[in-house]
Amino acid sequence: MDRMLVVAFDNETKAYEGKKALLALDAEGSVSVYAYAVISKQGDGKVTVKKEDDPGPVGTFLGGSVAALIGLLGGPVAAALAGAAGASVGFGFDVDSARIGGDFVQDVGELLTPKRSALVAEIDEDWTTPVDTRMEAIGGTVIRRALADVTDTVNREDIAAMKADLAQFKAELAQARGDRKAKLQAKIDVLNARIQQRAQNAKEKRETFEKQQHEKAQVLKKKASAAGRAIRDLANTPV
């Protein structure tokens, strides 16, 4: 199951130990790690991302769920992650982009108190015990949430509502005169621009999600191929 994983630690050193432990679990086949970042909350409450951190096997994922979660936590995520991973952050940070609920963001915010650090990762795991056991052994507190599919239901409803307003403005414009007509035309122009922007954002979000799903499939395919080669090599090893 695809999940967002957050492991909070008392300091940055422990967070990097957690990252190494997570990657070790990936190498063992206990989980599949798609993207990750080590973050810290400063004394003033600002969340920072370690630019030098490796973005993971699917680097563009930092333009997706991991980036969105960090952005929701209040971090300067766009510049930091784009610099670290060449990520393209083409849409705003919201719970839809992060594919999690607002309550999860709140839980993470309460756990990541000032001067603490955390490992944030998008993973696929069938069993929670391996991660929990390894992280708890080094002092980490684990919370996770299953990732929802990207949905544009709310966005479609918003666009439909704006189009209804647009139709009303146009009907009134046909009968308006003078100053009122100019004001209605200005409203129409603004609404048209908003509708176009919403539609473009939805398109970009869907394309990003589809690309990420493809990249995740490629990661799993490579891991399966490597495992198959290892099994064949073992079978051909003389005893």
Whether residue 171 sits in one domain with residue 57: no
Q: Which of 148, 179, 199 is the last residue of a domain?
A: 148
Interior/surface letters 14-45, b for 16+ CB within 10 angstroms, e for the rest: bbbbbbebbbebbeeebbbbbbbbbbbbeeee
| Residue 239 resides in a domain | no
| Residue 235 resides in a domain | no
pLDDT single digits (tens) 116-166:
999 999 888 888 899 999 999 999 999 998 887 655 555 676 788 788 888
Whether residue 164 sits in one domain with residue 138: no
DSSP E strands in 28-179: the ranges are: 31-41, 47-49, 117-125, 141-146
Q: Which of 148, 183, 215 is the last residue of a domain?
A: 148
What are 9's two structure tokens? 């630690």
pLDDT single digits (tens) 1-33:
888 899 999 999 999 999 999 999 998 889 988
23: containing domain? 2-148
Whether residue 112 sits in one domain with residue 20: yes
CB 18 within 8 A of CB 156: no
Q: Which of 132, 148, 164 is the last residue of a domain?
A: 148
